[in-house]
Amino acid sequence: MKKIIVFVAFFALTSCFEAPERNCNDFRTGKFKFEHEIDGVKKSTTFIRSENQEIDFFEGKSDTSSIRWINDCEYIIQKINPKNMAEKKAVSIKILSTTEDSYTFEFNVVGSTEKQVGTVFKLKN
């Protein structure tokens, strides 16, 4: 009888869990916008991503990075022409969930355990 109760409880708990939607391929390429806060000031970065490259536009400057996809929802990005030691470090990005026009992701410098979360919006061309 105990086994049946444990099974029913486990089934009831797991059947209610719904995994977040992840249509990562919808965000592999295109034009995007990422808003973030730096020293209490809201800043915006736009970027154009192709299959293996990303061009970022921030405060009137552009920068190009290479992209290496690990799987449909994870990739590594690294600046092509880093200007300092911090920019030489690769960043790991994992898409956690998607909507029709945005995705939520976590990111960290490769080798670091400190992760941050953000949301990117896909822009219409």
The CATH number covering residue 94 comes to 2.40.128.490
- Domain contains 4: no
Which domain does 62 fall in, by range? 21-123
Q: How confident is the model at residue 86 (pLDDT cuts 50, 70, 90)?
A: confident
> What does the DSSP assignment read for 24-80?
GGGGSSEEEEEEEEETTEEEEEEEEE-SSEEEEEETTEEEEEEEEEEETTEEEEEES
* Cross-strand bridge partners of residue 14: none
Structure tokens given for 42: 């809201």
> 16 pLDDT band (50/70/90 cuts)?
low
Question: CA–CA separation, 36 vs 34, rounded Å?
Answer: 7
User: What pLDDT does residue 1 have?
Assistant: 54
Q: Degrees (nearest 5) of the Cα angle 65, 69, 74?
A: 105
15 within a domain of the structure (yes/no):
no
pLDDT digits (tens, 9 = 90+) for 22-77: 889 999 999 999 988 888 899 899 999 999 999 999 999 999 999 999 999 999 99
Q: Is residue 8 part of a domain?
A: no
Q: Are 78 and 64 in contact (CB under 8 A)?
A: no
Residue at 11 is within a domain: no
CA-to-CA distance for 112 and 38, rounded, in angstroms?
Answer: 20
CA angle 119, 66, 81 (to 5 degrees): 110
Whether 121 contacts 101, CB under 8 Å: yes
Task: Determine the average pLDDT of the residues in 9-25.
Answer: 64
Is pLDDT above 80 for 3?
no
Does residue 100 form part of some domain?
A: yes
78: in domain: yes
Query: What pLDDT sits at residue 36?
Result: 84
Q: Evaluate if residue 11 carries a pLDDT over 60.
A: no
Q: What is the pTM of this model?
A: 0.79
Query: What is the average pLDDT score of the chain?
Result: 87
Q: Is the separation of the CB atoms in 78 and 86 below 8 Å? A: no
**Residue 47, in any domain of the structure:** yes
The pLDDT score that the predictor gives to residue 47 is 96
What is the tally of structural domains in the chain? 1
